[in-house]
Amino acid sequence: MELIITEKDNAARRIADILSEGGASTERSGGVNVYKWGGRRCVGLSGHVVGVDFPPEYSDWRDVEPAELAYAPVTKTPTQESIVNVLQRLAGEADSAVIATDYDREGELIGKEAYELVREANEDAPISRVRFSSITENEVKSAFADPDDLDFDLAAAGEARQIVDLIWGAALTRFLSLSARQVGDDFISVGRVQSPTLKLIVDKEREIEAFDPEDYWELFADLTKDETTFEAQYFYLDEDDTEAERVWNEEDAEAAFDTLRNAASAVVETVRRRTRTDDPPAPFNTTQFIRAAGSLGYGAGRAMSIAEDLYTAGYITYPRTDNTVYPDDLDPADLLEALGAEREFADSVSLLQDLEELEATRGENETTDHPPIHPTPDLPDRADLSEDEWEIYELVVRRFFATLAEPAKWEHLRVVADAEGASVKANGRRLLDEGYHAVYPYFSTDENYVPDVEEGEELAVSDPRMEAKQTQPPRRYGQSRLIETMESMGIGTKSTRHNTIEKLYDRGYIEGDPPKPTRLAMAVVEATEEYADLVVSEEMTAELEADMTAIAEGEKTLEEVTEESRDILDRIFDELAESREEIGEHLRESLKADKRLGECPECGEDLLVRRSRHGSFFVGCDGYPDCRFTLPLPSTGEPVVLDSACEEHGLNEVKMLAGRNTFVHGCPLCAAEEAAETEDRVIGPCPECGEEHGGELAIRKLQSGSRLVGCTRYPDCEYSLPLPRRGDIEITDEFCEEHDLPKLVVHDEGDDEPWELGCPICNYEEYRARQGLDSIEGIGSKTKEKLAGAGVESIADLREADADAVAEDVEGVSAERVREWQAKVD
């Protein structure tokens, strides 16, 4: 029996389907899918099924000094025991094994882990390696027809990264967390790649905070030829004899404005026409793909998650690549022919097929592992993809089209005129030939019309205007620009950069998009800069990345690189040891600053956002237990303290982060006082205790800011129904025949029409009925069917589901995607 091992279950399912030509059957073994046909068995891993860690005696944070981890031994243990058990059982029965994991450093390491597990169970079976860049019939069959050997050097490079990241992350995380007395779920996370990335974000924020705006003025006027009016801008020649539009002195601006205001006409001095070629873009590598997806509103992590699903389904090539040059064996004409079968692409394909020659653009990077990201000949059924998946798929397809298209051509017209001594200019542009824009509509093709004029021609001047402006601070890094900067500085790899950003969000170091550092992030960077700057040094991180590349190329060994890294970390702890107390105090103060709202109205100590033992958030006094003043916070979302403050109480306002349902709660004390002053409005009998105990339903305002219809006998009767947070609620004279309750109408300033909520019981029952899986963005009818086959048929099922198990059972759905859906319904 031949055993085939892939990186994930959905890849195993597809490869089995290709090699068996649709004849593979599925059996469950220990909760793991095994695909079988003829003398072959195929099983998917779940990424790494073996993890690196320290021995158990190093696990107690309080008994083991963080510095000891620098030279602590590292062990490997199974992290997915059910998969490991099934793999080894099958390996024991196998005559041979084939590793078919992704072809990159991480995939090679996962393949090596599988290799070692097979060897433990079967010492004699030959083990080969197959590599492909897309999971299509042609590539998969070609790869299996010409197997190779595992690249142990490439795998060792991935293993070195694992070990170095474990040692650095664990040792420094423990040191900072213990110094700040911040343990448990809220520990302070530090990482070899994470920390230099965070410093980039913090440095940019420092630039913004240090920025001192300057005043300047810009002047405009309208010029008219015949009945055509166009805008012109005032300019002057500066000290370097170059054109300048910004006037930095208000008196000079006023003088120029007076000249424009008194000018009745302007004489055209120069007219310059030129044609500019707009070259099509290079093929997608990972960084440029993330940048393009970012312009469509997709964060880096989300874009890569979708791309990986499309790759696994066989629709695009491997999305982790540095390459920007198509391989010689790619036939653009054949691929165009296949893509033309999709009605939405047919017109674009026809345009490209009409070209005399198909010659693809070439980027600067040419590698030999994976091609640039491009579509495969296997077209998806659009109904099988969510809207997000189709949008990303179309982006990849159209980028491929663009690389085959001709350049666009623009005509530029520049007009300079003299308005009674004031120079003005107008720049027009017109698209002469769409070129690649006809098939790639993601770049702007806006035109600016300026009519044909001749030198010496007199134009009417009207509507002069002067605009006072200020210079703007530098922009924060968007996710895609941050990844580009990381790439240019050698921080991380194409496979890890987007995950690094996700970790910074998860650990509470950054918020918003573009990402802004929290006060904790600023404090961590400040502390490490002052006491151990190597931790946030991009040079050291880039050097380690280069060392790992040297391992992959056989120039260094895993042992050499990890030992060198341990020595560097040991030197860092020598620097940190003397400043432990100062570092801890600095971090503790910053942790408070991120959670501080203002003064407690009862004792004057700080009010802080706190978390209860049950996980809910509230506002509590830092003077506890002497002062027990508290304020509730909404149960939905995670609180973030805003810079804006309440004018009445002086407390900072709070925003609740809850995905698409994020909202500003405002001042918690205002919400509590408003609730206390709002009288309950009784609307009818309680359906649970009204007959027996006389309970009544009332519209109630809670101190947390929420509203509900609840029983007046609370807490003896907990019956309640949710109500919207915003808007005035009107109790109408129309009653529900079934529940004998008045119908409600919500009047919200933000809505054009009032919301007829109706009977609150009926409304809630209808809401529950609507909460099927297809109410979640990204779950279409096809995906809903697949989820049902895995036992996930309702919102409740989804909440309780194991994301990894669902991903293994459902083709084209990753565990990360399942977790995103779960976050939306929590």
- Give the angle 419-424-425 at the CA atoms, nearest 5°: 140
Grade residue 188 by pLDDT with cuts at 50, 70 and 90: confident
Amino acid at 628: R
What was the pLDDT predicted at 752? 73
Answer whether residue 778 shows pLDDT above 70.
no
Q: Can you tell me the mean pLDDT for 403-410?
A: 97
Amino acid at 317: T
User: Which tens digit of pLDDT belongs to each residue from 716-740?
Assistant: 998 999 888 888 899 999 999 888 8
What was the pLDDT predicted at 801? 79
Grade residue 407 by pLDDT with cuts at 50, 70 and 90: very high
Please tell me whether the peptide bond between 625 and the residue prior to it is cis, using omega within 30 degrees of 0.
yes
Please provide the distance, in angstroms rounded to a whole number, between the alpha carbons at the two ends of the chain: 45
- Give the angle 591-596-597 at the CA atoms, nearest 5°: 165
What was the pLDDT predicted at 530? 84
Whose CA is closest to 105, among 483, 390, 496? 496
What was the pLDDT predicted at 76? 92
User: Which tens digit of pLDDT belongs to each residue from 424-458?
Assistant: 999 999 999 999 999 999 999 999 999 999 999 99
Answer whether residue 797 shows pLDDT above 80.
no
Q: Which two tokens stand for residue 221?
A: 């006027």
In the residue annotation, 318 being an active-site residue is answered as yes
What was the pLDDT predicted at 249? 95
Whose CA is closest to 508, among 191, 195, 186, 823? 186
Report the 10 Å Cβ neighbour count for 453. Answer: 19
What was the pLDDT predicted at 686? 92
- Give pTM, 2 decimals: 0.76
Distance CA 230, CA 252 (A): 25
User: Which tens digit of pLDDT belongs to each residue from 656-710?
Assistant: 877 666 788 899 999 999 888 888 999 999 999 888 899 999 999 888 888 899 9
User: Which tens digit of pLDDT belongs to each residue from 556-581?
Assistant: 999 999 999 999 899 888 888 888 88
Answer whether residue 521 shows pLDDT above 80.
yes
Distance CA 191, CA 500 (A): 9
Most distant CA atoms of the chain, gap in Å: 96
Answer whether residue 614 shows pLDDT above 80.
no
Contact 725, 663 (CB under 8 A): yes
Backbone angles phi, psi at 657, to 5 degrees: -80, 115
Distance CA 663, CA 679 (A): 25
What was the pLDDT predicted at 740? 87
| Radius of gyration (C-alpha) of the chain in whole angstroms | 32
**Phi-psi group of 391: left, alpha or beta (phi > 0 → left; psi -120 to 50 → alpha; rest → beta):** alpha
What was the pLDDT predicted at 3? 97
Q: Can you tell me the mean pLDDT for 207-213?
A: 95
Distance CA 552, CA 152 (A): 8
Grade residue 191 by pLDDT with cuts at 50, 70 and 90: confident
Answer whether residue 789 shows pLDDT above 80.
no
Q: Can you tell me the mean pLDDT for 789-800?
A: 76
Answer whether residue 345 shows pLDDT above 90.
yes
Q: Can you tell me the mean pLDDT for 519-528?
A: 87
Instruction: Render 318-378 in DSSP notation, one character per residue.
Output: -S-----S--TT--HHHHHHHHTTSGGGHHHHHHHHTSS-------S---SSSPPB-B-S-
pLDDT above 90 covers a percentage of the chain that reads 61
User: Which tens digit of pLDDT belongs to each residue from 622-652?
Assistant: 999 999 999 999 887 888 888 899 999 999 9
Distance CA 668, CA 631 (A): 7
Grade residue 31 by pLDDT with cuts at 50, 70 and 90: confident
Q: Can you tell me the mean pLDDT for 313-338?
A: 92
Contact 611, 639 (CB under 8 A): no
Burial 555-591 (b: 16+ CB within 10 A, else e): ebebeebbeebbeebeebbeebeeeeeebbebbeebb
Half-sphere exposure of 279 (CA within 13 A, CB side): 8
Answer whether residue 459 shows pLDDT above 60.
yes
- 7 to 16, 106, 277, 392: CA distances (angstroms): 13, 10, 45, 23
Contact 509, 521 (CB under 8 A): yes
Q: Can you tell me the mean pLDDT for 253-271?
A: 95
Please tell me which residue in 115, 315, 318, 477 is annotated as part of the active site. Answer: 318
User: Which residues face 6 on adjacent strands?
Assistant: 44, 100
Contact 326, 374 (CB under 8 A): yes
Distance CA 61, CA 665 (A): 37
Q: Which residues contact 710 (CB under 8 A, 6 or more apart)?
A: 697, 698, 700, 719, 720, 721
Distance CA 451, CA 92 (A): 80
Grade residue 750 by pLDDT with cuts at 50, 70 and 90: low
| Beta strand ranges found along 248-300 (DSSP E) | 265-278
Answer whether residue 375 shows pLDDT above 70.
yes
**Least reliable range by pLDDT among 17-31, 172-186, 784-798:** 784-798
- 668 to 57, 727, 803: CA distances (angstroms): 45, 18, 35
- 180 to 529, 583, 779: CA distances (angstroms): 17, 7, 43
Q: Which residue has the tokens 């790619």?
A: 330
Average pLDDT, the chain: 90
